[in-house]
Structure 1
């Protein structure tokens, strides 16, 4: 790519979006993540067009959590689905979204909107809110509204399911 640093990458290629993953070793702890986000935004905003970078992650909680401790580790979708409380799902979205926003993350690839039609599916399984389409839709909607209430874009996935 012809660059040595993230700053050079942003300046040379006008990066518009970045995703944080634990397996990429770019998310060690909240202080490091916030500093990384702030540095990325500063470099991007100092460019001639002065546009912010959309920073995202894949923080589903439960089985998939890219930002670990000391971030709050909420119950996963299947646990929320078993409880059936839309208010609980909204609270997870609101509180989790607030934590992500504090780290400079403005988009989360969550919640999982898949209906668990095959309980033996090793990919989705407990990442789904459940097997009832209406219940899943209500919980997904509630969690998305929680994220939106704190200014974080939620990306329901996976399409087509």
Structure 2
């Protein structure tokens, strides 16, 4: 029996003039301790774009109108562990926002320099697809993780 993928979203706010991207230190749940993009689950009836805008505001305090979010990647995750379902993640970027960042109980958002990203503290897959997105490319990617959920063991990547 095939387990259906759980649909998730990410919203990456990129300040190209300032040479920085908004990421966050994950305080609980899957990825705890890692530096991650902001995002999460979809509410019933919610589009991935609407969820990305909502999650971004909930996790960081920044407001980005849905229309300003551009879908730049679809990343499908397959995990060797039977405890983790596959994830289908819609990734959006935005270069305009209002508000000031603030912490929440799940994540501590912060600006990170684009030329000095903390790759060693991020999910292993980020080193594969995120550089494409930061270069302005759109990608579709399928990532396979090992049993520990820490290391990428297979990659299929298509630049759109």
* TM range, smaller chain: under 0.3
The TM-score normalised by the length of structure 1 is 0.27
The TM-score normalised by the length of structure 2 is 0.27
More helix by share: 1
Q: Which has the larger radius of gyration?
A: 1
Answer 1 or 2: higher relative contact order, Cα 8 Å, separation at least 6: 2
More strand by share: 2
